[in-house]
Amino acid sequence: MKKFVVVLLALVMAMSLCMAASARDDVKEVIAQAQTMTLDELAAKAIEESNGKMFYGVGNSSRGKSALPLFISYLQTIDPSYTMEFEWQQPKNNKIFDQLTADSLKDTGTFTMVLIQDGNQIESKMVQTGILDTFIPKEWAEANNYAEGEYTGYLPLQTLNKIFEFNCTGEKTYDNVWDFVAEGEHGLFMDIDSEIVGKNFLYMLTADKYAEGLKDAFEALPEDEKPYFQAVIDEVAGDAEDLDLGENGKYALAWIKLWVESYNAQTDDGPICNTLVDKSATDQFGLLVYSKLRSVEESDSVSKNNIKVAAYEDGYTGFGGYGYCHYLFVTDNSPMPWTACAFIAYMTETVDGFSAWGKDLGGYSSNPEVAAANEEKFHHMTGGMAEDGTVAFAAMNDRGYDWWVNEGGLVLEDPVYCADVAFTVGSWIEMLDKYSGE
């Protein structure tokens, strides 16, 4: 009898595993088919699958909750009788990865899809483990001039940038990226232990492209400013070799060391912005999300004219900030994979779908057609202009994604590179002594 029970339990477990594997195979098959279909074709599938049901989504951005009603309205233009309830969660303190990992243990998960940031942990914890699956919408790929199946990366909804801004009510200026790590400087920055994309930014500086840019910026410094930095560059040269970095890796490590040991750690970008735009913050600077400027209300002591964007200044040398993405995925055990694919396509292929994020400066749709139409709709490029055509708030005049990448030297997150160096460079960073500013 005991042997029979053991065999029976083994059969039940095997059947359960097969059913789970089958369910996941079904999701992958849906994605494979969906990648050959237009948005309208996906919408028809979504209506059939999710009409009258409950949609659970999860993301680092709360605005998924704003995009879902627009998606439902779009589906109702095809079938007026269509209904769908929804709930959108935004886990705090980096718990989204634990939440998705726990949900992945179910045969059929709770979450239909996810909007998520932090390329390093996405690669190591979500993609390599098979918890999240990439879906590339057909019309998104075409807009980006990719042939069918040619694009192999993750699907970004948007790129956001964090940029160097400084209070300009005093005489101090910053015309080189090394100025931000000069002796006595303590920039306001969201702590890398609070938001991991900041740590990914530091990882990316060690990539050959950005390390070379730091070397070029160092060489552009006045001769009397170089010795302070040169001492640190020489100090970390051996570490760069031990970490198997490129020939300019020592410049990256020197900048990272000076930055990590000097920045004034903050818990959020909002307070950083509020500090910098006050006239009392003379000679302070920060590295923060560009879009925070939109929330600043003018007063006697507070103005968006009290700050300048470093990269917009004539003669500025070096990178002006860093960029990271919000990525879109279908959960590998999604309860409604067709609806997930349709919603993802809607957000990446239409202006209305992106509108929950499109109103902000410093956030750029990954679809060039949507980005152009969105710019026309919200006029970011003239967002700093007054009605009479004069410049009202120069810092608000967003120059756009292409400018930031090609002229502003934006350091862009590469998930695979970040995951590759997270242990080596990451461990080196952890050994640095961070400045604890007041």
Taking only the tens place, the pLDDT of each residue in 220-245 is: 999 999 999 999 999 999 999 999 99
Number of domains in the chain: 2
Question: Is 309 inside a domain boundary?
Answer: yes
The CATH number that applies at residue 62 is 3.40.190.10
Q: Would the pLDDT of 20 be above 80?
A: no
Question: Is 208 inside a domain boundary?
Answer: yes
Identify whether residues 367 and 387 lie together within a single domain: no
Question: Is 437 inside a domain boundary?
Answer: no
Identify whether residues 399 and 301 lie together within a single domain: yes
Contacts of 28 (CB under 8 A, 6+ apart): 133, 332
Q: Look at residue 438 in the predicted model and tell me its pLDDT.
A: 41
Question: Is 436 inside a domain boundary?
Answer: no
399-414 pLDDT, tens per residue? 999 999 999 999 999 9
Identify whether residues 96 and 212 lie together within a single domain: no
Q: Would the pLDDT of 169 be above 50?
A: yes
Q: Other C-beta atoms within 10 Å of 372: how many?
A: 13
Instruction: Average the pLDDT over each of 88-97, 223-232, 302-311, 404-413 and give the range with the smallest value.
Output: 88-97
C-alpha torsion angle, residues 393, 64, 377, 409 (rounded to 10): 50
Identify whether residues 215 and 347 lie together within a single domain: no
Question: Is 139 inside a domain boundary?
Answer: yes
Q: Look at residue 195 in the predicted model and tell me its pLDDT.
A: 86
Identify whether residues 240 and 354 lie together within a single domain: no
The arithmetic mean of pLDDT across residues 327-352, rounded, is 98
Q: Look at residue 433 in the predicted model and tell me its pLDDT.
A: 67
Q: Where are the alpha helices (DSSP H) in 206-296?
A: 208-219, 226-242, 249-260, 269-276
Exposed, middle or buried, 67 (CB in 10 Å: 0-12/13-18/19+)?
buried
The answer to whether the pTM exceeds 0.85 is: yes
Identify whether residues 366 and 320 lie together within a single domain: no
The arithmetic mean of pLDDT across residues 113-121, rounded, is 95
Structural domain boundaries enclosing 389: 159-324+382-430
Q: Look at residue 280 in the predicted model and tell me its pLDDT.
A: 96
Q: Look at residue 379 in the predicted model and tell me its pLDDT.
A: 60
